[in-house]
Each structure stands twice: as structure tokens, then as C-alpha cells.
Structure 1
Amino acid sequence: MNKLVIVGNGFDLAHGLPTSYKDFIDDFWKNLRKKFNTSPYKEMVFLNEDYMGVFDYGKINSFYDFENNIQKYCKQYNAHYSYQSKICSIKIENHRLEIVEMPIFGFKNDFFRVLCSKSLVNWVDIENEYYNELLSRAKQISRDSEENDIRVLNQEFENIKKIFEEYLERSVINSFKLNEFKGREWIKLYDFFKPISIFNNNSKLLEEFRLKEDQKEIRQIFENENNGEKGNTSTYVLNFNYTTTTGQYLYQIFKSDYYNNLNHIHGILSNKDDNQINFGFGDEMDDDYRYIENLNDNEFLKNFKSFKYSQNSNYKNLLNYIDSDKFQVYIMGHSCGLSDRTLLNTIFEHKNCRSIKVFYHKREDGSDNFTEIIQNISRHFNDKKEMRAKLVNKSLCEPLPQDIRFQKKES
């Protein structure tokens, strides 16, 4: 019985890394003053250098702060604040007592404007927003403008990805020692990564499997290990992040002579030879996907993850692994949202998938997201009876530790 660990952004956040969507989008506005005229910032927004005084009316930590500063600036000069579509302007009186309208700020990237206007939380929300925008344009725009309109959306999405990559390189890869933990708290998670074994000290492991044949197989693993035989189980980490946070855990497992494998299914930023991250949408089970596919225009399919999986062997390696033997799934920091639906359905409904265990996020107020995650998981199952049979109940699940930290690099 093998173990397939699915790692998402919540795993990086649990290590204190600033990898949330909010971290990224707030960083954009924090750095706007010094970066607005550099690429790719200048492809995203326009800023009138004659009105740089807007930055002097309070610290800017978000788009909300930036908007407030503009309004304070206008109020200071008794100017009328106007915001229409992509352009923010002020109406002022010139030396000839004429009312003129002057642009202060504007969005060049309309999709970025849409994202900034909404209170989005997770990266899956961004991918879902892209799909909704794609579908909306596919159904509403005229055939004459269809190709150009979709190309514009895809280019806007590409520019956002460039800024996102630059942010992760600067604020995570180049700012933290991702191969060096602070303290010993990491051992809590290390135990979760270890293959199924009697040495895991999980007294309730058998209860996580419904079928008697699976329980019997695990008992046999324990018996063999008690007799001095080396276990033949393995851990396979499917990392949806673009960082290397799981590497240190697997290095420790490797030192302990356990078999393990790591699959950066969506790419990895530290790989300079292949720095193509897979950021897009991956739900081909959606009812509207067939409509998009039948438009017979490949530009509509440009940012679907499935087509990017063919660029390397990562997806095939995953299929080979889940075909090879029975496995239990661990969910660590992945929301199991719709943007990865096709891939997760392939895993969850596979005949070798015998159990799905969720490591949920416990908030400071005592609440948690366990129910939200299993609701998301249910959307990846066509057979709901099978889903209920595979899901491990909450009493046997655990919160993901939140007190593990990587060392920061010296500035």
C-alpha cells in the first residue's frame, strides 16, 4: 500500500511563506511607486508622473489603500474624482478657469482590473475567474472579433503570470533558505510523509481503510517489518506548488532508506532549464468545456492545463505510479478546487485509490476548513457512493501544523 501526498499552496503558507494570492497582489501595490515604469508593470497599469503626490497620503499596502490615497489627493485640491472603466481621472480648474479632466491612473490590463475589483482569496479563484472570463467572451463576442478578443485575454493572463513568477522568485526563492528549517517542529510533518509502516506510530491506521482486503494487506506489511523485512511501500509527492518546500522532507526520508518520489506537476521556479510553470484551468468535465472545444479555435484552449501536461513526462509519471499499486491519498494544503478537476478525478476515482485523508487548516478562532475541502473533493467524483467509501472521517484526520518556519536569507 503506497502513499500519494498531494501538496498545495496551504502547505507553503503553513511554513510561513508569503505565497497566497493576497501576498502577491498586495506586493504589486506596495511596489507600484518604484516599479510602475518597469516591465512587466508598465504593461499592467498607467501612472501619470505629474500626480505622484498620490503616494504621500498614507502607506500603500493594497489596491484599496491606493484608491483611498487618490481620493484624499483629489479632496486636498478640491478636485472631482472620476473613475470610469479602466481610467481614474480628476477634474480640475486650469489657469483659464476651464474645467479639464486629467488621467491620474489607469489599467492597461483589463483582466488584472477585474481581479483587483474582487475580493479573491485563493489561486484557484484566479484560475476560475480566467475560465469564467474565457467562457463569457466565447459566448458573447461576435465571430469577427472573437480571435483578437481571446488573444488579448490570453496575453493579459500571460502578463499576470510574469509578475507572479517575478514575485515568487524575489519574495520566496531568493528570500528564504528552503533547505533549512528553524527549530524541530518540522518532524511533525516528516512523519506524515513517511511511507505506510509500523514505524509511523499511527495506531488508528487500519480504521482509515474501509475494505477488509486493504486492512489485511497493511497488517501483512506490519508483520513483515516485525520479522525484520524491509517494507516495500513508497511515498509519492505530487507538488502543485512552484516552490521546493517538500524537498527537505523527502531528503530526510531518503536518508532513512525509504523509497520516495517527487513530481512538480505544474513546474518549478528553481529549474532554470525549464522555467515554464503551468498556471491555467484544468476542468474538462465542465458542461461548457465541450462548447469551447467545438469553437474550433485553439486560442481558447491555450491555458488549459491538460495540454501543457504533454510538454514533459510529469503527468505520465503520475499515471504510471497510480497504476502500479494501491495507494492512500493525503491532502496537504490543497483546496481541491475545480481548476484541477480533471487531474484530481483521475486520482480519486482510480481503482487503486483506497483512502483519502484530509489535513485541514485550523484557524485561530477554532474553526477549520475540513467540510469545505471534502465538499470540493465531492465535485471530482462521478460516483458519490465511492467518494463516501474512500473519505476518511474527520475524527481520524488532523490539522496541518502551522508553526514550521524556514530560515530567511540575509539581506
Structure 2
Amino acid sequence: MANSKNILLIMGNGFDLSCGLKSSYNDFFEWRKNNLDRIIEKSGLDEKTFDEYVENEINSIGYKKNFNEDLREKTDKEYLKNNPITRWDCVFVLVKKYISPDHIKEWNDVENVILNVVTFLLVNDKKWLNLKIREDQNKFFSEEVKRCFYSKKPLENDKAILSKRMLDDLNIFESNFANYIRGEVHSNELYKISARELIKKLARRGVKEGEIANVDIFSFNYSLDADQRRSYNEYFERTNCNLRINSWYNIHGIVESRHMSMKKSNIIFGIDMTDLLDNNKQSTLTNTLLNDPRIEFTKSFRIISEHVNLLRDTALNSEEDKIIIYGHSLNAMDYSYFRTLFEMFRLYESNKMALELYYYPMNDTDTIHTEERANVEKLVNLLVTYSKTLGNQYENSIVDKLVLENRLSVISTGKENEYNKIKSDVINDIKPIIEIGNKKGDSDLLSPTEKFLLGTVLSNTKPDISEWTDNDLNSFINKWKNKGYMDRLINAFKKNEDILKNFKELADFIGED
């Protein structure tokens, strides 16, 4: 029996971004703003943008205020039906308006804003935790956030009622985000191929020829899930990759699941359990959790209440040889997950488990050393936080131990992301087919059936593939896969070995969902 390596692959949003999916909060808010601005423009109101609309209406926002009813009568009913405006949409408009210019990039940090708002409204409305609001505007910002969620009827502002109101609106906000991600996944045929190839590249790195890589995937993303595991494994087996995905778990849910007991969208935003403890250091653990009204907004609580655990179809391996972290910012919001995983696999006690952090160099080569240093600092902070759970004798030694045992690596992914690489590979595979199609008038080369099928597949595409946009390429792949042209072309060209080879190679690489 061949030797095997067990690998835990932890995926952050940087994984999806590297594979060509526009999955950042910034991408979502841009999509949201474009649609809401379009609605405001068509509504006939004096305001030109949704931000202006919120700012002008904020004084009258109360529990009975319903943006959707007001605007639905004037404009796009279908969009507002599927993606209703929420109080959280208004909160993010206010954060962007009032946040300090030095921290403007933080306005769309969704989970940190949630932590600050629920803490302010449910625990302490005298100050903000770490939102850097301009000092001279703090009072206005605080009052306007209250107006987003408070009712004009004092009895309806009881903390239990207020908490439910905030959580109900958060569920809708999450559903809107799920709708956006689902649309991006469905319109990007190359994304799943890029993700498959990146998993293969990461899993096979450092694994000897002939060894089998058994991979457990622990994903913070909402896009791919355990259903994809099955089709990927079929491809890996068919192409003799010596690679198998053992389990796949989306810790914060998935935008679309075939699980019979799941809702269509089951994703969660939330706060880390340690945030509750850090902000209540004077209390005991039990009293803090029992009495803290924010408990319903923690990720752990919501994973249980939203039944996200049902998405896990198999368990992790009991032992791992390597932990790979790809595309995760290592922010404090997710520290508890990393701490639990490190404890589960006994990172400190092990003398063989390697830990690799991959990061994408966002800036130019002049700052690459600075970026590497910043990512090393993030990893060290994470490890030191984990070591505090082991006891004082280990607190300052875990990083030294991993370095001395050659078990710690911080690796740049390089500037070229996986999506661009896969796009280039697919275009090279398609190019001979385009050339064949452009010669379709040559009766000696193609039969009538072959001409017809090839002409149908290449309809509405540009003769010069170098002019194709991402939409052209995705449309071509979608037609091949979803309308059955792959099999029909392979069958039609079965007597033409040279051309058939191109079709088979492309069909195998594109694969099936």
C-alpha cells in the first residue's frame, strides 16, 4: 500500500480571490451600492444615491420605517423582493460617512462592525469598542445608529426585543450576501476549475512521488462545499493525481446546499466568543456567557442555531502531517477556531506537523519584505495566543520550537493568481478548436455534422480568441458543459484523431460539476 500524507487545508477568502471569484466584502458592497443607487435613481426622489437617501431619512428611521415598501412602489420590485434593504445596510452607510479618514479601509469590515454595534446597543452605549469614528462626529454617529434599530415606542426597545430585531435584519443581510456570491459562482465557470487546480498544487507540494495526499478542507468561505468534493475526487482519480479530499467543512455555512434539511442560504456572520470574554475580564467565564446579550451573535452559537454543522459529511483525520493556511488574514475574529484546531492536532507536542502560511503580495516588489514581515507577525501573534492556553511554561517557546524543528513556513503565492493561470491554460486548449472552426468552409476538413456542431458551439464568439473577455470564455465553457456539446463533439470527431485529442483534453480538464 502506498504511503500517504494527511493535510489540513484551511481556506480563507484569499483562496477564492486567487481563483477569480469576486468574493470580498468590498466586491459585495460595490454590487449592493450599484443596485441600490439604480433603484434610487429610478424612484423619482430628489436623492441621487442610496447613501444620500439614508442620510436624509435617518432622522425618521424607526421600527415602523420600511424602506422596501416605500421604494418598491416606485421602482425595481423584483430586486427588493429578493434583496431587501436592511438596517445593517444603513449602518454601513453611516460607518463609511463618519469613520476617520485614516481608517477608511475598515468601514466594510462586516464582522468588526457587527461586534461594535451589538456591543454599543446591548451592553455599553457610552463608547465604541474599536471603530475609529471621527471624534467631533462621535455623538452624531451614535445617535444615528440608535435610530436605525430603536423603535419610537420605548417598550419595544427592551434588550431582548432589540436583539431579535438586529438578528432578524442580520439574517436578511446575510441572505443578500449569499445571493451575491451565488450569482458570482454561477457566472464564473473557470472558478471551480481554478479552485480544483489550486487544491491539487497545494496538496501535492512537498509530497513525494507515489505518496497519496489525503486532504481535509476547513473553509471560511461560502462558495464551494462537500458536494464539490465528490466531483473533484472523481477528477483526481481519473487523472491519477494520488490525491483525495477526505472531508470538506464550511465553518460559516454555504450559499447553496443540496442537504435536504438546509435552507437555500445558510451563511453566518458573527463575532468570536473570545470577544465577549475580552470585554468582560472582570467577570467569571460562566457569568459572562450567561448574562451577555451578545451571545446570540457569536459564531459558535449561530453555527448551532442555524444548523450549519449539518453541512459536515465526514470527520477530519485524527492526525495531520501538515496544516496549510491559504488566503486567511489571521484576524482576531477567528482566533478561537485556529486555537481549537491547533489543540486538536497537538501542534506543540507533535515533532513532525508542519505549519505553512501562504499570503498574496498585494503591493510592488519594493514593499515585499514589509509584507512578509507583516504576515510573519500575524502568524507569531496567533501562535502566542494559542500558547497561552498551554500554560505559562510554553507561552514564549512555541515559535522557537517550530522554527528549530523546521516546521514553520511563510510563503508568498507570487503575483500571478490561479485564475489567470487556468484561464491561460484553457485558452491554449481552445485555440486549436477556434482555428478549426474558422476553417469550417473547407469541405475536406469537416463533415456537415462536424461543421454544424462546431459552428453552434462557437456562435456569438469572436474569431480572434485574444479578444475574448472573461464573459466570452465562461459562456463558451457553460455551453460545452450544460448543453451536452462536449460528448456530441467528441462523438462527431471520433474518426479525426488529431482534432479528437484536443476535444478530449479540454473536456477532461473542464470536467463536470
TM-score (norm 2): 0.53
- Cα distance in 2 for partners of 1:359, 1:329 equals 11
- What residue is the counterpart of 2:413 in the other structure? 399
The separation in 1 between residues aligned to 2:339 and 2:33, in whole angstroms, is 37
Q: What is the match of residue 357 of structure 1?
A: 356
The one of the two structures with greater contact order (alpha-carbon pairs below 8 A, sep at least 6) is: 1
**CA distance 1:167–1:384, shift in 2 (3 Å):** farther
Match of 2:202 among 192, 198, 211: 192
Instruction: Supply the AA of the counterpart residue of 2:273.
Output: D
Q: Which stretch shifts more, 135-144 or 155-164? A: 135-144
Q: Which amino acid in the other structure matches residue 301 of structure 2? A: F
Amino acid at match of 2:117: E
Aligned-pair CA distance for 1:160: 2.0
1:8-407 alignment runs, 5 A limit: 8-35=12-39, 49-51=44-46, 54=48, 86=58, 108-109=87-88, 110-117=90-97, 118=99, 119-120=104-105, 125-140=109-124, 145-170=158-183, 172-177=184-189, 181=193, 187=197, 190-194=200-204, 197-199=207-209, 231=211, 234-244=214-224, 252-255=235-238, 256-261=241-246, 262-273=248-259, 274=262, 275-284=265-274, 286-288=277-279, 294=288, 296=290, 300-310=294-304, 311-313=307-309, 321=316, 324-353=318-347, 354-366=353-365, 367-368=367-368, 369-377=371-379, 378-379=381-382, 380-381=385-386, 382=388, 383-390=395-402, 397-399=411-413, 401-405=416-420
| Structure 2: distance between partners of 1:120 and 1:152 | 28
Query: What is the CA deviation profile of residues 283-337 of structure 1, one whole-angstrom value per residue up to 9, with x for unaligned ones?
Result: 336422676963746852222111233335469878x525x11431111111121
Shift of 1:357: 0.6
Q: What is the alpha-carbon distance in structure 2 between the residues aligned to residue 315 and residue 388 of structure 1?
A: 37
Q: Which has the higher helix share?
A: 2
CA RMSD of aligned residues (A): 4.1
Instruction: Summarize the Cα distance change of 1:152–1:361 in structure 2 as closer, same or farther, 3 Å threshold.
Output: same
CA distances 1:328-364 after superposition (whole Å, capped 9, x unpaired): 1111111121221211111124453322111111124
SS of structure 1 residue aligned to 2:330: coil
- Tell me the matched-pair count: 326
What is the CA–CA distance in structure 2 between the aligned matches of 1:348 and 1:163, rounded to whole Å? Answer: 33
Deviation for aligned residue 1:108: 4.7
- CA 1:385/1:287 → structure 2, altered by over 3 Å: closer, same or farther? same
Post-superposition shift, 1:240? 1.2
Q: Which runs of 5+ in 2 are unaligned?
A: 61-84, 127-154, 348-352, 389-394, 424-469, 479-513
Q: Structure 1: state its 5+ residue gaps.
A: 38-46, 56-62, 71-81, 89-105, 200-224, 226-230
**1:6 counterpart = 2:1:** no
Cα distance change of structure 1 residues 315 and 270 upon mapping to structure 2, 3 Å threshold: closer
Deviation at 1:12, TM superposition (A): 1.0
Change in Cα spacing, 1:115 to 1:162, as seen in structure 2 (3 Å) is farther
CA distance 1:335–1:257, shift in 2 (3 Å): same
Structure 1 residues 195 and 165, CA gap change in structure 2 (3 angstroms): same
Q: CA deviation at 1:388?
A: 4.3
Deviation larger for 337-346 or 264-273: 264-273
Q: Aligned equivalents of 1:335 and 1:396: distance in 2?
A: 13
| SS at structure 2 position matched to 1:294 | helix
Q: Percent identity?
A: 17
Hey, what's the Cα distance between the residues in 1 that align with 2:36 and 2:278? Answer: 40
Q: SS of the residue aligned with 1:397? A: strand
User: What's the CA shift for 1:148?
Assistant: 3.0
Contact persistence 1:7–1:331 (CA under 8 A): yes
Q: Report the Cα offset of residue 241 of structure 1.
A: 0.7
| Alpha-carbon distance between aligned partners in 2 of 1:122 and 1:335, rounded to the nearest angstrom | 17
Query: Does the 8 Å CA contact 1:358/1:370 hold for their aligned counterparts?
Result: no
Cα offset for 1:173? 2.2
Q: Give 3-state SS (helix, strand or coil) of 2:93's partner.
A: helix
- Bigger fraction of residues in strand: 1
Change (3 A) 1:301 1:283: closer
